Structure 1
Amino acid sequence: MLWHTENYAQADDARLKELRKLAEMSAEETPNGWKKGGGLGFDLAQLAIINPRVGGGSNRLGFGGLGNFFANYKKDRFTWDNSGSFQVSVQRIGSKEQPFQKNLDLLRLGSRVGYRTGNEKIFAAAEATFESLLFKTYEGNILRSDSLPVIARFGSPMRVALSTGINYKPDEHWAIYVAPATMRLIYVADDAIAALNVHGNEPGKNSFLQFGANMNAVYQNKYFEDKMSVKTSLDLFSNYLKDPQRIDVLWQTDIGWELVKNISLNLHTELFYDYDVRVQYDANKNGIYEEGELARKPSFTEALLI
């Protein structure tokens, strides 16, 4: 409500100006300051069999977790969006003498700054991202070993990207970032792991530097009276310096359904493809990823968590 000491005509005119000013504000305008949030998901699977019948199966113990968080800041035309996520999952099949194997291990961090141009939906932007593992991995995806060689660990490999471009936000659900100047670095800090040449680094080197174009499109929304949340992100990259026709792909989707307050059933999927990074491939079709079975193939991950 507006209070005025002027006469009624002046008061009406002031109200009209105020309403016009409010109408001109963007529907997506958010208050200045910080907005923070996140979520965690857990997975536990256990099966115990004592003296199993022939063909009856084996003991199994598996557990894991998935988490994400964000911390976004806004002040007038300036925005600063920060995000992070992790995925961890291990399992042991058989007796307690069998080692745990890793199913998932991934850490991602990202930060993007933007400045709104004359068009309220377009931002000049710059972004930095980081990706690596959290724990050591031994040959055979074993979590711990005294004899097997280490094939991956935190920082080996790691993927770092720096980019500048335009961030287009047509509404509160969509954000499309186009960066024609993007530097990406694959770096393997451990010399022994780098010598394996399985993480995308150049043969005989610890790194692989790329310069190209990046596009990232994000859609997020809520449905059924905010019971279901959907977020999907598609990231594409083309390397100007080598085989630009080969597009790297990272497509992530998260769908959540609120069971009770603060507890949700979540489905996470991820499709990854990078021509320079070979992934484990069951070439023999025997259901086992054996040593040396690597190929330039898409990698797909799916996780159902509470």
Structure 2
Amino acid sequence: RVGLTQGFQERLYGYVVLESTTSNSFMLNTNNFKRVLTHEIGHSLGLEHSSNNASEPDAILKAATMYYTTASGSAGATIQAYDVDRIQFGYPVTNTPPYAVKRVIRAVARASSGAALPVALGINRFQLRAYDRQGTALTPALVTGSSAKFSISGNTLVYAATDFLTGSLLSDAQIIGGSNYGTAIVQFSDGVNLSPEVRYNVVEIAGDGTPSDGLGDNWMNTYFGSNTVGATGSNRHPDSDPDGDGLSNRVEFYLNTNPNSAASGPVKPVYNHSTRQMTWTPLPFATYWIESSSDLGTWSLRGTSTLYATSGSLSKTFSGITPTKEFYRLVTGP
């Protein structure tokens, strides 16, 4: 919740272990067993005891399934007013918390004096987008512990690279293990709920000896044989798309894909009409925003996803009333 610095946290699974002996008369009682099991499931969902006071004067706290002890002859697998209130607080249905996925970002540092780096998305500037099921406008904020090199301007995360200070692209194993050159920790607020903390890890600080284009020298030399800034319209210009795949050189640099091969960039999603599920094979570590539209004009965010592995697939199942007509698309980039 807003005001609680940890915000909501994703809970993917929980374990319940009941250790007892068959000679335990208390647990051999069916209602007692159900009550204890329900209590422990509450803990696995994140609930604490309603009270640890043996002389608890508050009737609501003492009657709760989450009270610290269970009396013999209890009502079995029932939940009381306190339990319902805490579950609804921790797992809201009508106003769900915002959600975003952790991201890796490639920064650029000037490797020579002269022109400044361009002010553009993908050049030390990255979109801050999170998903809110209610469609509420979200406000991002940096969390304590973020690198001092980061700041937020509106819905853009800005990284202040140090001239002549570079770092090579980390290996996939290092990225998966969490290694980085700096981290921004961001939370999104809908005015009531805070998202989980989202990490933006810098996995490369590419040196740019011709900083007016903002494209790293190593990447330029690998794919174009030169780091010379390309003229407008040439294959080497940052806004050009030499392989015609719809991704500019600037986006291809950000995604670490081959600007001369249309097969290396955009993914090809597959949609199953019967299950309303879209599946795709993503680029490792790339962030995807899933959007929908009824007219191909106005698009709404329906989810966000990323694959923190070197291979695998991602999917999105669309719920709710099946519309007469709806279009879906995947968006990626800085």
TM-score normalised by length of structure 2: 0.23
More strand by share: 1
Select the structure that is richer in helix.
2
TM-score normalised by structure 1 residue count: 0.25
With a CA cutoff of 8 Å and minimum separation of 6, indicate the structure with the bigger relative contact order.
2
